Amino acid sequence: MRKIACILIFAILAVSIPYIIYAQDVDKQSSTVTLTILPACKLTISDQDVSKEIQMGEESRGSLEQGFIEFPSNKPTLALDSNSSWKLSARSTGFTGPYDKPTGDLMLKDLSSSHVTNSFNTYKSLSGIDQEIASYNKGVRSETHPVQYKVLLDWARDVPGTYSATVTYTLTTNAS
């Protein structure tokens, strides 16, 4: 009888094992990862404040005779980062000082070899309105734009004193 009981149990197990294995419950779910990257940019300015003093004597006469004075090159230097198409613009507040010096007496030249626009690779007068000086239709990383200032001088109008102007640079992404 024991033998029969063992055979019967073995037979029941042999028949039931496939059902036990297939009786597992499985539930699968999926997860979607979505990342939205918006247009972004960063503008960094090094050596942003520049000044120059015209000394009495030969230098001042020479600058006034030439009709301008140039500031050191690469001062300031603009560093750009953008993950999409972009444009860089500049404008000036105009001068404060003892004489109402025209805003256009301040000139700017972009010394970069990359993406300079609107002839700013040579000196151009600034104005109180944003002027595009560089642009590109793709993103950039650590692109540098060293610039140089030049101020126009006039013997009759530029009286002695300190003149100051602020130049505002704006880096803008173009959403695509």
As to burial, measured by CB atoms within 10 angstroms (0-12 exposed, 13-18 middle, 19+ buried), residue 172 is: middle
Whether pLDDT at 176 is above 60: no
Cis peptide before 72 (omega within 30 of 0): no
pLDDT band at 93 (very low <50, low <70, confident <90, very high): very high
Q: What is the pLDDT of residues 33-53, one digit of tens each?
A: 999 999 999 999 999 899 988
For the chain, list the domains and their CATH numbers: 41-173 (2.60.40)
Whether pLDDT at 12 is above 90: no
In the prediction, which pLDDT does 3 show? 73
In the prediction, which pLDDT does 14 show? 67
Mean pLDDT of 129-158: 95
Give the sign of the dihedral formed by CA 97, CA 101, CA 102, CA 107: negative
Q: What is the pLDDT of residues 104-119, one digit of tens each?
A: 999 999 999 899 999 9
Q: Which residue has the higher pLDDT, 173 or 10?
A: 173
In the prediction, which pLDDT does 60 show? 67
pLDDT band at 16 (very low <50, low <70, confident <90, very high): low
C-alpha 91/C-alpha 129 separation (Å) is 6
In the prediction, which pLDDT does 4 show? 74
In the prediction, which pLDDT does 20 show? 58
Find out whether 139 and 83 touch, Cβ atoms under 8 Å.
yes
3-state secondary structure of 150: strand
Mean pLDDT of the chain: 89
